[in-house]
Amino acid sequence: MSSKVLVVDDEENIVELIKFNLEQEGYQVLTAYDGVEALEKVKEKEFDLVVLDLMLPQIDGFEVCRQIRTDDKLKRLPVIMLSAKGEEVDKVLGLELGADDYVTKPFSPRELIARVKAVLRRSSNILDLDQKLIEQGEIKFDLEKYQVKIKGQELNLTPKEFAVLSILIEHPGQVFSRSYLLAEIWGYDYHGDTRTIDVHIRRLRKKIAQYSEEEYILTVRGVGYKFKELK
């Protein structure tokens, strides 16, 4: 069955352009033209991905993304943010809110299709771990249940945060470069920069810190990140 994508933008010509190109690739496409309509549709129907414009009437893309990520039924739904704004602060804020990718207008349909394929591929096969359950210190990582708990408290992680943590926690003490994590999780055809990893690491640390004072994810200056070896 082909993947179902929701395209959200208040510019009809942009919506039609994206819809046409996605349908040419075999995707099922539904559309929305404002934030309220977008939220109604993601709650009514099951989607595999949302292409979400930042500047929307009624509720902007940031708020739509935030509500998706705080809804237990929707929190793992992949989101690609789309915006005419290219400022670093917008990109970082989008990633902080849990967007899986960020595409700046003007964009080529070929680039967007590549991003869509990469995000869908990674979301459908985020992990390939031999172990179903990993326990490190206070952290209990359960692949089968797609769940991470600290002291019995479940962390609300996005798919990309879950994927980053999975690589680190499966290999405590091993250092992973930003480039490796970016390629492994986002795919070799991803054209983002390595600061994307820094944003996700920062979010992971913040969420872990809600329940533990232990610093589990360590920075190796000039190299990358590793999960703390616990004795």
Q: Output the pLDDT for position 183.
A: 80
In a shared domain, residues 45 and 155: no
Q: Which of 98, 124, 150 is at the close of a domain? A: 124
Q: Which of 91, 124, 157 is at the close of a domain? A: 124
Task: Decide the pairing of beta strands 4-8 and 28-32.
Answer: parallel
In a shared domain, residues 151 and 57: no
Q: Is the dihedral of CA 58, 61, 63, 68 positive or negative?
A: positive
State the pLDDT confidence band at 1, using cuts at 50, 70 and 90.
Answer: low
In a shared domain, residues 138 and 107: no
Domain carrying residue 205? 133-227
Number of domains in the chain: 2
Residue 128 has pLDDT above 80, yes or no: no
State the pLDDT confidence band at 127, using cuts at 50, 70 and 90.
Answer: very low
Q: Which of 74, 100, 124 is at the close of a domain? A: 124
pLDDT digits (tens, 9 = 90+) for 168-191: 998 889 999 988 888 888 765 555
Q: Write the CATH number for 29.
A: 3.40.50.2300
In a shared domain, residues 23 and 47: yes
